Amino acid sequence: MSPPDLPTDGRPWVYLASQSPRRHELLRTWGVTPVPLLPDAHEDPEELEVPAPNEPPAAYVRRVTRAKLAAAVARLRRRSWPAGVVLSADTTVAVDGAILGKPTDAADAAVMLARLSGRAHEVLTAVAVAHGPRRWLRLSRSRVLFKWLTSAEIDAYVTSGEPMGKAGAYAIQGVAALWVRRIHGSHSGIVGLPAFETGELLARAGLTPLR
């Protein structure tokens, strides 16, 4: 695979091991150019996201994020691309200690949303950065309180397709924002990349966004 076109305007940039358009957008908002470092054809990133039996949500999201980072660093070396800072992240939703990952189909999405209806749940996002041999990881925890959802609201949202590919079967930056009564924590962390923690890690790696 040919090396990417790296920024030449002096602004900070990172290799981003994520296909999430939300993470790409957040980094750009913070003055950092994301350079995609996506899996090769033989890689199966979904394998990394399978929870171990009885694995606590915080341990799960940390493990998956470390695994994604390790895979991305190995990918960078395999491709012989220029050295650079590598960033990975993973988000999960937890309720009653159970992990709600990405729904497998529409029925699964509807079950997840019904489970979140009218109650608080936790959103955990881990972010990890590699710079040379050094590695750093931070975890963001947020609590989100949903209003009670009607069957019609759930059905319409599932039909829209927005729940698919989203941890907990919803995107807070989408229509589901209308259901949120209260947030305690990091809005950007719920979206998929916590601003404060990401900024700290980038600074440790020698990057200074917006300066």
Cα–Cα dist 76/81, whole Å: 6
Cα–Cα dist 90/18, whole Å: 9
State the CB neighbour count (10 A cutoff) for residue 161.
10
Q: Which of 5, 40, 44, 90 is catalytic?
A: 90
Residue 105 known to be catalytic:
no
Cα–Cα dist 17/43, whole Å: 13
Q: Phi-psi bin for 31: left (phi > 0), alpha (psi -120 to 50), beta?
A: left
Nearest to 14 by CA among 55, 53, 58, 69: 69
Which residues are the active-site residues? 90
